[in-house]
């Protein structure tokens, strides 16, 4: 069973993502910001990270940089959840090591389709 780390400071988004992923058979660990996610990633084995960009404490870009510096997370797929308006953030995230993007707003089917594509 693959484990997905879902990171978003919005509780409703976290719940929606988590509910959708669990319904599709994934194990889900939720985190409310980048630092929370980094701590949880270190404590567990995560197969895919799904992260918002704009968050307090540590944003999604910093999270990607920090995860890529960890030996266990060098090649783990990391998908960023972002809005279309955030063009420069996309290249920043890509440079930091993000695998791909899912543009907000997305629906549960789009979320699962993207994850299945990334996980092969």
Q: Looking at 2-120, which runs of residues are DSSP E strands?
A: 3-7, 27-31, 48-52, 78-83, 100-104
With respect to other proteins, which residue has the nearer C-beta, 24 or 118? Answer: 24
By CB neighbour count within 10 A (0-12 exposed, 13-18 middle, 19+ buried), where does 21 fall? buried
Scan residues 51-80 and list those touching other proteins (CB under 8 A). 52, 54-56
With respect to other proteins, which residue has the nearer C-beta, 12 or 45? Answer: 12
* Rounded least distance, CB 92 to other proteins, Å: 13
Which token pair is 20?
């959708």
List of residues contacting other proteins (CB under 8 A): 9-13, 15-16, 19-20, 23-24, 52, 54-56, 83, 85, 104-109, 112
């Amino acid at each position: 069973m693959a484990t997905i780390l879902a990171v978003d400071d919005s509780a409703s988004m976290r719940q929606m993502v988590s509910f959708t992923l669990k319904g599709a058979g994934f194990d889900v660990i939720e985190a409310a910001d980048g630092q929370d996610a980094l701590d949880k990633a270190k404590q567990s084995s995560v197969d895919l990270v799904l992260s918002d960009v704009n968050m307090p404490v540590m944003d999604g870009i910093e999270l990607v940089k920090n995860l890529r510096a960890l030996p266990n997370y060098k090649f783990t797929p990391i998908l960023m959840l972002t809005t279309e308006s955030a063009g420069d953030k996309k290249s920043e995230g890509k440079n930091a090591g993000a695998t791909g993007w899912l543009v907000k707003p997305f629906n549960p089917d789009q979320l699962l389709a993207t994850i299945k594509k990334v996980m092969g």
